[in-house]
A and B are shown apart, each in its own frame.
Chain A
Amino acid sequence: MEVSRIKPTRIRTKYMRALAGAITLVLLIGVSFYFYTNEQQRKLDSELSELKLKTDTILSLSDTLYDFVFRARGYYVFQSNTDLEQLKLDLKEFDVRLQEFSSLKLTSEDRTASEDLRAFYNDYTTNLLPKAIGYAEAKDFDALRELLESGANQIVYDFMDYTSNFKENSDNRLNQVIDDSIKQSNQFTIIAILFSMVILLLLGGLFWRLLRSLITPILELEAATKSLAAGQEVPITLTNRSDELGRLNDSFIEMTHSIQIKEEELMMQNEELQAQQEELQAQQAQLQHSLTEIESIMKALDQSSAVAILNEHGVFTYTNERLTAFTQFKSSALLGKPYKIIKIRDSSLKALKELEERVAKGGVWNIEMELERQDGSAIWFDLTVVPYLNEHGEVYKYILIGNDITSNKAIQKELAESLQQTEKTMDILKNHNLLNHEITYTLNKQDLVEKFNHFINELHSFDSSLFMIVRETIYSSRGIPQEVIERYVNHSSNDMLDRLAQEKTYIVQRKASNAELGISTLSVDCYDLYTAVTDTKDNVVALFCATRIGRVYEEEEIEAIQGLMKRVSLAVERIEMVEDIEMAHKLNQDIVNNVNEGIQFVDSNGTMTNNNQALSEIIMCKEWGEGKGIPIDQWIHDISDQCSSAPELEEFFRMALSQECEESSSTQYSIGNDTKRYIDVYATPVVRRGARIGTLFVHRNITKEHELDVMKSELVSTVSHELRTPLSSVLGFTELLLSKPLKPERQKKYLETIHKEALRLTNLINDFLDLQRMESGKQSYDIETFALNRIAMEVIDQYKVGTKRNVLLIDEAKFVDVDVDKMRIVQVFTNLISNGIKFSHEDGDVKVRMYNVQDKIVVRIEDKGLGIAKEQIDILFQKFRRVDNSTSRKVGGTGLGLAICKEIIEKHHGRIGIESVEGEGTSAWFELPLRSPKNAPEDDIGVLIDGDNENIQNVMIVEDDSSLSLLLSEELKAKGFRVTHHYNAQKAFEEALTVRFVGIVVDIMLGDELDGWDLIRMLKNDVRTEKVPIVISSALDKSDENLQEFSINKYLTKPYPPGELSKVFIEIINITEPSGDILFPDNIEDEG
């Protein structure tokens, strides 16, 4: 109903407004109408007046005109001056009138007439009249007549007509105007009437609407009210009206609603009330019934119990016979007296107090009280007090009901006593049980003794006590000094134990010691209890000693304690058993865990109950712990999850577990994703006393064997392949040779190929057999002491001839003696050097370096060849592995070489390896232990440093004779030089250019195209090398022309011990200013 709030007095305002509007309208219209009619009237009036004026004017004009015309005429006739004067006056008047006329509103006709008239006048006055007068005076009447008839008078006549016309017109006009005026006023009247009618209609309509809008809802409301009054449905709805009636409507509706609701409520209440009333009636009936019951109960009560009624002050107002019987107070003695008259025994005073309190508050209370009868004897009374409260909550009556319970009480007391007794016994039992419980759950002996001691102290209370398990001297004590305990611990107490064993229990009575007396001044006796538990062999298992100061031990106590001791000994035995079992179990577990194979035990349900460490390592399953039972599906799943052949494995397990399977079975599987392990699993049923209790699975890791197998079969296939290839070519070419005639060159080529391949085959087989022999350890090595550099030189010697390559030895190893099988080492050298040659460029050098590192000698064979990729270095030492490079395919070889070298070196307790940078070169090295490293050279640091010492001075020996050069090199190495052996002059020279040599030993007799002289020449001719001192090692032929070429100093005489040469050499070298001396040993005979 918000709308109504916005415009609360809408009806009124509405109609006010309407009314105001109407009135305004009416006024407006009326006023305008009025003005209009006024206007019209005015207009008409003015027109009328104008017309009148005009008419008058015209009339007067005409009159005047007539006047003067006739006067003129008169004059003409009579020629009276007065007439002339009057004529002039008339003319003047005419003039005036004419002016008046012309100043009026004129129509065009009028104007014309006026102008004509004026013209006429003018003409008349100026022209005609004077003329006429003239004529008249002249008595020229003819001329006068002519003049008058000339038409001058026409105007007059015209005007006369005009005037009469005008008059007519004017009259008509006047009439018309009057008619119009009347008509108009009639019209206006009609309009006014119509208008008023319209207004009236409007007003009527408004009024009607008003009425309607007022009446209809009112009627509705009336109807609604009527029906509401009649109690029927109210046919009214909410309206959208927002005005007073609307609000009235809405309020009415609300009212009806609320009335309806209230009616409903009232009805409900009415119903409720009715229901309640019915209830009440029922209750009343019940009450009645109860009342009758109560009455009967009361009667019964009265007969059985003591009943008394007190008033609010606690004064007896009623007592019954039973009360008298109980208390011996007659009712007469009680009535009117307060209840306190009956005395309460002391024991019940408190109860009484409580009772009074409770009851005062209005609560029903029941207590047992001891009362005094009239004769003073006591009875026990069960008393119930019921206070009655009035409507204000105050007590106005007390009902007392009581019963004699004296005999009951006595019985109660007896029962209580026996209950106490029982409880005591129960306690004891409970204690025993408690002890049992405590010690049953103890697996720890120390714990046990503590608990027991504690327990027994709690139970029996001793002043000091000791409980000990004898065999292991585990004990618990209270209040006993350590040295006393020691007596027992140290087994010096065997006597005591003996006595205990015999007597089991005994008590010693003695005087208390000072410590025990404490603050007491009197002396007191102490009682020491000793009791022991023995095993079947009468050995003391445990003992208990306790002291009581001044208190005796009762028989019962002693028995109780003994009972407890027995219990404890049982517990101790149990613990020991458990310990034994655990030990055994642990031992088992340790054994099982230390085994290499994985072991699992599966019970008859398939649950895995035991598994060992090794198995966890194989299966790698985190969830398997020790001692957990793992259900069958889980463990099978755990294993087969990691296996490749899961279904077969699972099948195997289930078969092995089944009851039908009575024999062992085995299978193999592979497990693991990253690293495959091969396992052989063996299953066997476990039977105990004829019944199958489970199955045992043993998993053995056969990965290594498997790998070996794999390797072996790989090897076999590789070998067979390697063999087949040369074989194919041998067979093939042979067949070709046999099949058809061929050209001799072709034949030769084929035969060469066959030969080569056959050789290859042979080498392959030899190498392979060698390797196999070496690997299986059946190879015997013939170990002797050799100088490694000598061996190296021997091998290098082979390369002097034939090959374009240069193999040189760069030696700085001071210690070269090794214990080796020479042939094998030669094999190693050959292999490595030939590899170097194979894999290097056509004219590349192969350098063999030797140097000492600590107590070893290291040999490096370097080439500047193709180099080897890093990934391939690792596999080089494997059998048949060749560097997988298309260009190197051409170089042939068996692929076993390095494997053999490795085998040999390692069997000599050395190491071997390869370093390479792809594209730059390779360096194959091996090291061997020196023969009993002699006097660790502290004075010669050079040995301990790694071979590639920059500070070592380089000496070159260019010598054909390897034994000599070796000799020399020994000497030089001993002095700490690095010796490079060359045998080719050209190469030697080239090296001299790149490496700084402090001295060069040259043998003239070099087997090559260039001899020593050529080398010397080359050296001297080059500014880089001319200063290098040279020593010639061979004897010179004096006749040699080269002697002239160079200034050569003889310095040595042959024969000379090589040591001399080296000494000289060294001296030369050590000269600070090397001057490039050339020295040579001269023959003695020259020494003149």
Chain B
Amino acid sequence: MRKLLIVDDEEILRMLISDTLEDLDVHIELAEDGKVALDKLQQSEYDLMILDYMMPQLTGMEVLERLPVDLKKRMPILMLTAKAQEADRMKALEAGASYFIPKPFSPLELLQVVEEILVDGGE
């Protein structure tokens, strides 16, 4: 059973994402901010993390920066964000994100991407 971690400060979006992915054979965990996410990441392994960029206190970028490098290598990270400029994408990718989906996003698209990631088995 794959484990997914969804990190977004908006409850509605968390619901949306988890509902979108519910048909997949995965176990979903939610985190409402960066700190909670980091705690959860320390406690267990996830096969994918969906990470929002704009969050209070700890932004998505900061979360990325605080992750250990090897963790980033083996866990694919999908960034969701309203910031969709080229530069922001580059920054995120450099920081360790593997995928990038701008908001507003199409849930179906998200689903597709997640499926692909999981099929690949994380690169």
Contact = CB atoms under 8 A, between A and B. Distances in A.
Interface of A: 720-721, 724-729, 731-733, 735-736, 739, 753, 757, 884, 886, 889-890
Interface centre among B9, B12, B56, B105 (most CB of A within 10 A): B12
Interface in B21-60: 32-33, 54, 56-57
A424 B38 CA distance: 107
A731 B12 contact: no
Contacts of B82: 720-721, 724-725
Nearest to A733: B16
12 contacts: A725-B82, A726-B12, A729-B13, A729-B16, A731-B106, A733-B16, A735-B106, A735-B107, A739-B107, A757-B12, A886-B33, A889-B32
Interface centre among A724, A732, A753 (most CB of B within 10 A): A732
Contacts of B32: 886, 889
B16 A732 contact: yes
Contact of B10 (A720, A729, A735, A736): A729
Given A886-B32, A886-B33, A732 B20 contact: yes
A753 B13 CA distance: 10
Contact of B105 (A720, A721, A732, A884): A732
Nearest to A729: B12
A736 B15 CA distance: 12
Contacts of A728: 13, 16, 103-105
B84 to A, nearest CB: 10
B19 A736 contact: yes
Interface of B: 9-13, 15-16, 19-20, 32-33, 54, 56-57, 82, 103-108
A736 B20 contact: yes
Nearest to B36: A886
Given A725-B12, A729-B12, 11 more contacts: A721-B54, A721-B82, A724-B104, A725-B10, A733-B16, A735-B107, A735-B108, A739-B108, A757-B12, A884-B57, A889-B11
Nearest to A731: B104
A735 B20 CA distance: 10
A726 B82 CA distance: 12
Contacts of A889: 9, 11, 32
A1024 B121 CA distance: 73
A732 B104 contact: yes
A679 to B, nearest CB: 27
Nearest to A736: B107
Contacts of A753: 12, 15
Contacts, number: 53
Contacts of B20: 732, 736
Contacts of A733: 16
Nearest to B104: A728
A727 B104 contact: yes
A890 B11 contact: yes
A440 to B, nearest CB: 71
Nearest to A742: B19
Contacts of A727: 104
Contacts of A725: 10, 12-13, 82, 103
Contacts of A732: 13, 16, 20, 104-107
Interface centre among A720, A735, A739, A884 (most CB of B within 10 A): A735
Contacts of A720: 82
Nearest to B11: A890
A739 to B, nearest CB: 6
Contacts of A757: 12
Nearest to A725: B10
B36 to A, nearest CB: 9
Contacts of B15: 753
A90 to B, nearest CB: 152
A733 B110 CA distance: 13
Nearest to A740: B23
Contacts of A886: 32-33
A736 B57 CA distance: 31
A1046 B122 CA distance: 80
A724 to B, nearest CB: 4
B82 to A, nearest CB: 4
A716 to B, nearest CB: 12
Given A724-B103, A725-B103, A731-B104, A884 B56 contact: yes
Nearest to A760: B12
A715 to B, nearest CB: 14
What are the 3 A-B residue pairs with the smallest beta carbon separation, nearest first? A728-B104, A732-B16, A724-B82
A726 B11 CA distance: 11
Nearest to B109: A735
Contacts of A890: 11
A890 B11 CA distance: 8
Contacts of B13: 725, 728-729, 732
Interface centre among B54, B82, B105 (most CB of A within 10 A): B82
Interface centre among A726, A728, A731 (most CB of B within 10 A): A728
A728 B108 CA distance: 13
A753 B106 CA distance: 16
A176 to B, nearest CB: 129
Contacts of B9: 889
A639 B108 CA distance: 57
Nearest to A724: B82
Contacts of B104: 724, 727-728, 731-732
A869 B60 CA distance: 25
A936 to B, nearest CB: 50
Contacts of A726: 12
Contacts of A884: 56-57
B71 to A, nearest CB: 25
A731 B9 CA distance: 18
Nearest to B35: A886
Contacts of B16: 728-729, 732-733, 736
B81 to A, nearest CB: 9
A117 B37 CA distance: 149
Contacts of A721: 54, 82
A757 B33 CA distance: 21
A726 B104 CA distance: 9
A113 B16 CA distance: 162
B18 to A, nearest CB: 11
A770 B12 CA distance: 26
A242 B19 CA distance: 125
Nearest to B102: A724
A893 to B, nearest CB: 13
Nearest to A721: B82
B102 to A, nearest CB: 9
A733 B10 CA distance: 14
